[in-house]
Amino acid sequence: MSSANLTRAETAARARALDVHSYRVELDLRGAVDARRTGFPTVTTLEFTASTDEAWLDFIGDSVESVTINGELVPVVYDGARITIGGLKEINVVTVVATGRYSRSGEGLHRFVDPVDGETYLYTQYEPADARRVFACFEQPDLKAPFTFVVTAPRRWQVLSNEAAERTVQRDDTQTVTFAPTQPISTYITAIVAGPYHRVDASWSRDELTVPLGVLCRASLAEHLDADEIVEVTRQGMDFYAEHFDYPYPFGKYDQVFVPEYNLGAMENPGCVTFTEAYVFRGAATAAQHQGRANTILHEMAHMWFGDLVTMKWWDDLWLKESFADFMGAFTSAEATKFTDAWVAFANRRKAWAYLQDQLPTTHPIVADIVDLEAAKLNFDGITYAKGASVLKQLGAYVGRDAFFEGARRYFRKHAFGNTTLDDLLVELSSTSGRDLSSWAQAWLQTTGVSTLHLDESEDGYEIVQSDPRPHRLAVGCYDPDDSGDLVRAHRVEVDLADERTPVDLPEAALVLLNDDDLTYAKIRLDARSLATVESSLDRVREPLARGLLWSALWNATRDGELAVDRYLSMAARFAPHEADIALLTAVLANAAQAVEHYVPDSARTDARRRWLDAVWEGMHGAAPGSDAQLAFARAVGVAAGVDDRHAADLRSILCGTVAPPEGLRLDPDLRWSWWAALTTTGDADEADLDEELRNDDTASGRTAHLRALASRPRAEVKAHAWATILADHTLTNDHLDATIAGFRAGARRDLISAYDADYFAVLHETWTSRSIEIARRIVVGLFPAADSLEPVDTWLEAHADAPAALRRLVIEQRDHLARDLRVQRINTP
């Protein structure tokens, strides 16, 4: 095992032996504007007590120049990931002088040069363990300490960290900023942001507390920064959490920075939250996109308490912060902002992610067994986030809202700036609710899998039948047509389930919806009468959440091979144009496109592609001009037209301006690139077309889209070049790697890339060991062959039983996706 892959056992031993008092980290970023400089000077001074005479510091960089222990310069013992420090006393001061490396992968200190104006931007991203790529540290969440950052950078730059600047010294063209010491925090949530960022200032106040707010983005994106809405949501979140958590915001200021080439949606660095630039909308954006951004803002804000103020001891309890933040993001959106339908999107997008992850052979309990960092990196998944949030929603229904929030308040007060495990939280929730939650925790947090619920009707009445029984509290809704023909809920009953079969007293109804209001975590199956009602009248279900649960049931049944894929696609084509909730519409369009490519048998796929393209084409032309639905259908056209050229001439005419787009449709740069990529993939556009489009949009997004489209050209030599670039060009940024992989895989011409299947398995192990976890993961997942047989992957797994566990997990998951595809295709073959 590489020394970079820290284990739970060794870090626990280090935590028992050390108590860290403070860090002082000095970074010299003056050379960042010179692309020839790959590294930067970094100096760390740590003060700590020790009950051992030897330990190690974590650092991954270019070099370590010197190590000083208690005033004595000692020989450097460094293996590329760990610096051994010996001769320790009870009280120690250690200084490490080193050279870090600017990142192109989004891990550590990422450097980006804006093609619009040539400006250089820096930001850090550490979770779970990449602070060590910037400064020497004890890289584990339970060795918290106050941090003082000192950053030297170009004078005209914005320089930010977790706390406000305490002192700035300017000399000629440079500045040295010393930041106020932080509260005791973990290494992975420290942060540095530097560059000529555009900044909007505001504030939030409550009682005697005033929190300065900052919203920042690259200067070339300033015109697109919707600062007013971002600040509004931020203030609403601060109000809500102040009231419900009853613990003052603990980190002074609150900056939110939208950064380029970001690997995540966002990161909860206290006082300096970073977000993907995808939330700075360059063109038209649907209400669902605005809601998604608000949800993420509130998710990260919840982390200021769940995760930053109180932090898990080790990554086993990652859910303690991520499940709560995911739950609070939707909960607060629905209760405190204009996005009152946030639970609709949660039910269809977030829970779909959880259901998918929980049915893989690599599924794990919400409280997972994380033995090392490689395992931790892969557990930022649908179970830790969305299943955990779903289970917390169930817990809220089980213990009651008041007890739930009072338990959280006690948890914050008792463990502020400390580290916790599951038991610490359960103690507080059990106390406030008066319930023993140990059996609930065992059933929901320490087991795997998702229950499936269906209604069984007999002469004696109705029973709810569940597979994989767990305790559920759920609602059952009975729907019948009203005088207008709309399907409305005429009866609702709440039921507690524990066993495989539970009697329930229900009236006869046109539609019976199990788990109405989405109180629990389970897949539902529709009975025959309800399915017939849905198939004829889904658009007449008035409530968006109920429609969302029905769409979810249809999709799960399709993925499981229990609903014919043709029936799902027919319902999608029929009802999508009438779907009023944009989050639901977006999900349906994405699911239908996936069904065409993954679940329709090969023999029927050409026809299915054409029919689906016609459906979204008609949807785009039939939607209200300028509406969110029109934009959603236009984006779906970009996906569908990449595998069928029926409307290629029409798209080209619109893009070239010889034919007007549908009334109200704004051809913003992202939509234009989507359509050009589709045309390129089918051979109906060439490099000259793409180059001309790039001249009109020579931005970071434009260059990434251009790269993807170039790699999608349906020629053997293009695919060969893309393959070689992906594996050999280590200078590719994370975004450009993704774009090249997507272009390589794009389109219906699998014959152009099937020759690389054997090469994929031949380079797997080398790719994993020679690249960072983040980059290796993208390659392993992105290039997995969509073959018609499981034999090659099974052969590799059998021959590589001793491969790193995280690598095997990724391959096993991709195998399971392929196995599901092939199984559902067989079921749907006449």
Read out DSSP for 147-186?
EEEEEEEETTSEEEESS-EEEEEEETTEEEEEEPPPPSB-
Chain center to CA of 643 = 27
| Average pLDDT rounded to a whole number, residues 324-351 | 96
CATH 2.60.40.1730 in the chain, residue ranges: 1-195
| Average pLDDT rounded to a whole number, residues 365-387 | 92
Residue 129: how many other CB atoms lie within 10 Å: 26
483-513 pLDDT, tens digit each? 999 999 999 999 999 899 999 999 999 999 9
Residue 688: how many other CB atoms lie within 10 Å: 8
Burial environment of residue 182 by CB neighbours within 10 A (0 to 12, 13 to 18, 19 or more): buried
| Dihedral class, residue 399 (left if φ above 0, else alpha if ψ from -120 to 50, else beta) | alpha
Report the DSSP beta bridge partners of residue 503.
463
* 128 upstream amide cis, omega within 30 of 0: yes
DSSP 387: I
Listing DSSP states for 348-386 in one string gives IIIHHHHHHHHTSTT---SS----BHHHHHHTSSTIIII
DSSP 309: T
The three-state DSSP-derived secondary structure of 772-793 is CHHHHHHHHHHCCCCCCCCHHH
675, 638 Cβ separation under 8 angstroms = yes
Within 162-319, strands assigned E span: 165-171, 174-179, 192-195, 198-206, 209-217, 254-259, 266-267, 272-276, 310-312
Both tokens of 79, joined, read 């293996």
Catalytic residue, chosen from 107, 300, 374, 406, is: 300
| Dihedral class, residue 101 (left if φ above 0, else alpha if ψ from -120 to 50, else beta) | beta
| Three-class SS state of 480 | strand
Output the CA angle 490-494-495, nearest 5 degrees: 130
State yes or no: pLDDT of 2 exceeds 80. Answer: no
Both tokens of 616, joined, read 């979204």
Both tokens of 147, joined, read 């941090």
Both tokens of 533, joined, read 């009602």
463 as an active site residue: the answer is: no
State yes or no: pLDDT of 649 exceeds 90. Answer: yes
pLDDT attached to residue 482: 96
Please name the residue that has the structure tokens 């510091």.
Answer: 57
Burial environment of residue 210 by CB neighbours within 10 A (0 to 12, 13 to 18, 19 or more): exposed
Share of the chain above pLDDT 70, in %: 100
DSSP 31: G
pLDDT attached to residue 595: 99
DSSP 346: I
> Using CA atoms, how far apart are residues 536 and 112, in angstroms rounded to an integer?
52
Q: Per-residue b/e over 770-783, b at no fewer than 16 CB within 10 Å?
A: ebbbbbbbbbbebb
pLDDT attached to residue 394: 87
Residue 620's nearest CA partner among 662, 674, 581 is 662
Chain center to CA of 668 = 25
Question: pLDDT band at 324, cuts 50/70/90?
Answer: very high
Please name the residue that has the structure tokens 């993704």.
Answer: 738
> Using CA atoms, how far apart are residues 801 and 793, in angstroms rounded to an integer?
12
Output the CA angle 38-39-40, nearest 5 degrees: 145
| Average pLDDT rounded to a whole number, residues 615-636 | 98
39-90 pLDDT, tens digit each? 999 999 999 999 999 999 999 999 999 999 999 999 999 999 999 999 999 9
What is the bridge-based pairing of β-strands 254-259 and 209-217?
parallel
Task: Give the sign of the dihedral formed by CA 737, CA 740, CA 745, CA 750.
Answer: negative
* One-letter amino acid for residue 805 of the chain: A
Report the DSSP beta bridge partners of residue 514.
476
Compute and round to an integer the Cα radius of gyration of the chain.
27
pLDDT attached to residue 460: 84
DSSP 223: G
| Three-class SS state of 10 | helix
Question: pLDDT band at 458, cuts 50/70/90?
Answer: confident
550, 534 Cβ separation under 8 angstroms = yes
State yes or no: pLDDT of 1 exceeds 60. Answer: no
pLDDT attached to residue 397: 82
Both tokens of 384, joined, read 């830790």
Query: CA separation (Å) from 230 to 35, 78, 114, 236, 336?
Result: 33, 45, 23, 10, 14
Output the CA angle 66-67-72, nearest 5 degrees: 115
* One-letter amino acid for residue 529 of the chain: R
> Using CA atoms, how far apart are residues 300 and 662, in angstroms rounded to an integer?
38
Both tokens of 540, joined, read 């007449």
Residue 368's nearest CA partner among 108, 59, 8 is 8
Both tokens of 730, joined, read 């280590």
pLDDT attached to residue 211: 98
| Three-class SS state of 456 | strand
537-568 pLDDT, tens digit each? 999 999 999 999 999 999 999 999 999 999 99
Residue 181: how many other CB atoms lie within 10 Å: 17
801-825 pLDDT, tens digit each? 999 999 999 999 999 999 999 999 9
Question: pLDDT band at 112, cuts 50/70/90?
Answer: very high
Report the DSSP beta bridge partners of residue 41.
99
User: 5-11, long-range: CB within 8 Å, 24+ apart, which pairs?
Assistant: 5/372, 5/373, 5/374, 6/58, 6/129, 6/139, 6/140, 6/372, 6/373, 7/371, 7/372, 7/373, 8/314, 8/315, 8/316, 8/370, 8/371, 8/372, 9/371, 11/140, 11/142, 11/314
| Dihedral class, residue 27 (left if φ above 0, else alpha if ψ from -120 to 50, else beta) | beta
> Using CA atoms, how far apart are residues 258 and 197, in angstroms rounded to an integer?
9
| Three-class SS state of 243 | helix
Residue 567: how many other CB atoms lie within 10 Å: 15
Chain center to CA of 268 = 13
Both tokens of 542, joined, read 């008035």
334: phi then psi, degrees, rounded to nearest 5:
-70, -35
Lowest mean pLDDT, pick from 134-143, 397-406, 687-696, 815-824: 397-406
Chain center to CA of 688 = 35
pTM above 0.75?
Answer: yes
Residue 801: how many other CB atoms lie within 10 Å: 7
27, 152 Cβ separation under 8 angstroms = yes
Secondary element (H or E) of residue 795: helix 791-799
Q: Where are the alpha helices (DSSP H) in 599-644?
A: 602-622, 628-640
Q: Round the average pLDDT of the chain to a whole number and report it.
A: 96
State yes or no: pLDDT of 638 exceeds 90. Answer: yes
| Average pLDDT rounded to a whole number, residues 157-176 | 98
| Candidate CATH numbers 3.90.1150.10, 3.30.565.10, 2.60.40.1730, 3.50.50.60; the one for domain 1-195 | 2.60.40.1730
> Using CA atoms, how far apart are residues 705 and 485, in angstroms rounded to an integer?
46
